[in-house]
């Protein structure tokens, strides 16, 4: 693969590297992608845009948890794959390595990546609806525990960015800063349709970084990238 050797060459002289991952990076772990559908597009007759919305947290938090616990049950036996594991080595290899993910499955964390900029939250974290205290919930325990805030006694909600909500501002700003100053920016396993996450790749490119895409299919990003590595993340990332 000509592009692969060029990307390896490029990385030899790169100090700052950013990676943005999407649902495709977890496909080989058995988690359906967004557009891959799976059995997660509709929950009890309700489209997931509705059940995963800020409005539903207000109206029926128990139903929201039921849906998220259903997803947690689907994810709980899914293990990090070769791509997640390879990225844990990248964090040792570069002067500055930034892993940004749109995924909520927590698999980068389970693989051993340290500082992960989770733009859409994490399905195994819960947040107090009043004081915003954050709780880790054990991926193996479904339904989730705890269900109340130990500080103020209020209810907990999934710490996931729902439809109708803003991305976590500090996390996003950090991702922007890192994107603007990296030498190489990787877009891995994302359909490149979800803004503002994919806008980070634009920021990087305009600031002078090389863009590399890893995806078995073409996306709106492909023609904008300097290198396109066509294939599964679990095969390609370890080769890099």
27 binds ligand NAD per the rule CB under 6 A: yes
Residues serving a catalytic function are: 120
Stretch 146-165 residues interacting with Zn ion (CB under 5 A)? 149, 151-152, 154
Residue 128 binds Zn ion, judged by CB under 5 A: yes
- Interacting stretch for ligand NAD, rule CB under 6 A, among 55-63, 84-92, 127-135, 186-194? 186-194
In 3D space, the residue among 104, 120, 45, 26 whose CA is nearest the CA of residue 71 turns out to be: 104
Q: Which does 149 bind (CB under 5 to 8 A by kind): ligand NAD, Zn ion, none?
A: Zn ion
Nearer to ligand NAD, 103 or 149 (CB): 103
CB of 78 to ligand NAD, least distance (A): 9
31 makes contact with ligand NAD (CB under 6 A): yes
Residue from the set 3, 127, 133, 238 that interacts with Zn ion by CB under 5 A: 133
47 bridge partner residues: 42
The full 3-state SS of the chain, as one line of letters, equals CHHHHHHHHHHHCCCEEEEEECHHHHHHHCCCCCCCCCCCCEECCEEHHHHCEHHHHHHCHHHHHHHHHHHHHHHCCCCCCHHHHHHHHHHHHCCEEEEEECCCCCHHHHHCCCCEEECCEEEEEEEECCCCCEEECCCCCCCCCCCECCCCCCEEEEEECCECCCCCHHHHHHHHHHHHCCCEEEEECCCCCCCCCCHHHHHHHHCCCEEEEECCCCCCCHHHCCEEECCCHHHHHHHC
What torsion do the CA atoms of 75, 78, 80, 81 make, to the nearest 10 degrees? -130
Q: Which is closer to Zn ion, CB of 64 or CB of 200?
A: 64
Check binding of 232 to ligand NAD (CB under 6 A).
yes
- 190 binds ligand NAD, rule: CB under 6 A: yes
Is residue 39 a contact residue for ligand NAD (CB under 6 A)?
Answer: no
Distance between CA atoms of 134 and 159, rounded to whole angstroms?
8
Based on the shown chain and the rule CB under 6 A, indicate whether residue 84 belongs to the binding site for ligand NAD.
Answer: no
Among 131, 141, 193, 207, binds Zn ion (CB under 5 A): 131
Which one, 3 or 154, has the nearer CB to Zn ion?
154
Least separation in angstroms between CB 227 and ligand NAD: 15
> Footprint of ligand NAD on this chain (CB under 6 A)?
22-28, 31, 33-36, 102-105, 120, 189-191, 194, 214-217, 219, 232-234
Binding site for Zn ion (CB under 5 A): 128, 130-131, 133, 149, 151-152, 154
């Amino acid at each position: 693969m000509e592009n692969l050797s060029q990307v390896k060459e490029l990385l030899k002289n790169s100090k700052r590297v950013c990676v943005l991952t999407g649902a495709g990076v977890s496909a080989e772990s058995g988690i359906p992608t967004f557009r891959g559908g799976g059995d997660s597009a509709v929950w009890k007759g309700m489209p997931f845009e509705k059940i995963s919305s800020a409005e539903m947290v207000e109206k029926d938090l128990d139903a929201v948890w039921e849906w998220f616990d259903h997803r947690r049950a689907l994810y709980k036996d899914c293990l990090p794959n070769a791509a997640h594991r390879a990225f844990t080595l990248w964090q040792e290899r570069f002067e500055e390595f930034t892993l940004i993910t749109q995924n909520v499955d927590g698999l980068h964390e389970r693989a051993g990546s340290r500082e992960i900029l989770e733009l859409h939250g994490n399905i195994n974290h819960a947040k107090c609806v009043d004081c915003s205290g954050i709780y880790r919930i054990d991926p193996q325990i479904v339904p989730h525990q705890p269900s109340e805030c130990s500080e103020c006694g209020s209810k907990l909600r999934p710490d996931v960015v729902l439809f109708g909500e803003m991305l976590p501002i500090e996390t996003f700003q950090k991702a922007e800063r890192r994107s603007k100053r990296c030498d190489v920016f990787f877009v891995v396993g994302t359909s490149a349709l979800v803004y503002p996450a994919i806008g980070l790749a634009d920021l990087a490119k305009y600031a002078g970084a090389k863009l590399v895409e890893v995806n078995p299919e073409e996306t709106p990003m492909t023609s904008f990238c300097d290198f396109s590595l066509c294939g599964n993340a679990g095969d390609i990332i370890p080769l890099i």
